[in-house]
Amino acid sequence: MKLTLHIWRQNNAHDKGRMVTYQVDHIIEDMSFLEMLDVLNEQLIVNGEEPVAFDHDCREGICGACSLTVNGVPHGPEKETTICQLHMRHFKDGDAIYIEPFRARAFPVIRDLVVDRSAFDRIMAAGGFVSAHTGGVPDANAIPISKVDADKAMDYAACIGCGACVASCKNASAMLFVAAKVAQFAHLPQGQPERKARVLNMVAQMDKEGFGGCTNQYECEAVCPKGIKVAAIALMNRDYLKASLTT
């Protein structure tokens, strides 16, 4: 199939940036979306132009590196699917496709479709952990955990840290990302000793990074490639309130 691509090009963080239109041909339906971009990039290199920069790595939907907004939707049209796992059979000959970076003030563009998501790392460094020094821990079966709680913790732990939740939110809120980590540990006994400090510190860092607040639009849940539920945000809000009042 033949496609018209409108792609955000921006040389570096200081460049203003613009949409540039490209044509690609001989795209087959078995290609992934990123392989379609590979075709464009090979074409550009042959013509002596610089390829479109985009983050990607595992190409199997788990590393969380890929971060494209396709036709206005982070990760594109398929539900619970990262853009690297979206295949071209979902498009048809002659389609025009708009490709932009994940946009948020806290995710500044580095180049083209590559954004800086290091704010997520700093939020994790502020409290996204259980302080368990290597070695000084009890036997793995010393503390039984109900299967229901373990499964819930796993549901939230599935977050891949891609940032689609932020990109989809009109407030550029990172609350689904932060809440997923808070909720994972809230469901486990290992997470209890630091539960209050964790939610306070992570939220403080989130605010400092310039992410907005949640106003219950649930766009984040709609685009989350791992199906993380907004119930996490409710849990985090409760924990935050409790921690604020009791510490």
Partner 1 sequence: MTLDSKIPSGPLAEKWDKHRFDMKLINPANKRKFSVIVVGTGLAGASAAASLAELGYKVTAFCYNDSARRAHSIAAQGGINAAKNYPNDGDSVYRLFYDTVKGGDFRAREANVYRLAQVSNNIIDQCVAQGVPFAREYGGYLDNRSFGGAQVSRTFYARGQTGQQLLLGAYSALMRQVGLGTVELHTRHEMMDVVVVDGHARGIVVRDLVTGAISSHAADAVILATGGYSNVFYLSTNAIACNVTAAYRAYKKGAGFANPCYTQIHPTCIPLSGDHQSKLTLMSESLRNDGRIWVPKAQGDKRAPGDIPESERDYYLERKYPSFGNLSPRDISSRSAKEACDDGRGVGTTGYGVYLDFADSIQRLGKHVIEERYGNLFQMYERITGEDPYKVPMRIYPAAHYTMGGLWVDYNLMSTIPGLHVLGEANFSDHGANRLGASALMQGLADGYFVIPYTLGHYFATAKTQKVDNSHPEFRKAEEEVKARIDALLALNGTKTVAAIHRDLGRVMWDYCGMGRNEAGLKKALEEIPVLRDEFWSNGKVVGTGDNLNSALERAGRVADFLEFAELMCHDALHRNESCGGHFREEYQTEDGEALRNDDDYAYVAAWEFTGVGNTPVLHKESLQFENVKLQTRSYK
For residues 139-178, which are near partner 1 according to CB under 8 A?
Answer: 139-141, 143-147, 150-151, 153-154, 157-158, 160-161
Q: How many of the chain's residues bind partner 1 (CB under 8 A)?
A: 78
Whole-Å CA distances, 151 to 54, 100, 171: 34, 35, 30
Asked if residue 137 binds partner 1 (CB under 8 A), the reply is yes
Question: How near is the Cβ of 244 to partner 1 at its closest, in Å?
Answer: 21
Asked if residue 58 binds partner 1 (CB under 8 A), the reply is yes
Q: Which is nearer to partner 1, 151 or 215 (CB)?
A: 151
Binding to partner 1 (CB under 8 A): which residues in 73-102?
Answer: 81, 85, 87, 89
Question: How near is the Cβ of 178 to partner 1 at its closest, in Å?
Answer: 14
Q: Look at the block and give the residue holding tokens 């590393």.
A: 63
Question: How near is the Cβ of 238 to partner 1 at its closest, in Å?
Answer: 19
Give DSSP secondary structure letters for 174-215: -HHHHHHHHHHHHTSGGGSTTHHHHHHHHHHHHHHTT-B---
Looking at 16-24, 169-177, 187-195, 235-243, which segment touches partner 1 (CB under 8 A)? 187-195
Give DSSP secondary structure letters for 99-146: EEEPP-TTS-EEETTEE--HHHHHHHHHH-S----TT----TTSS---
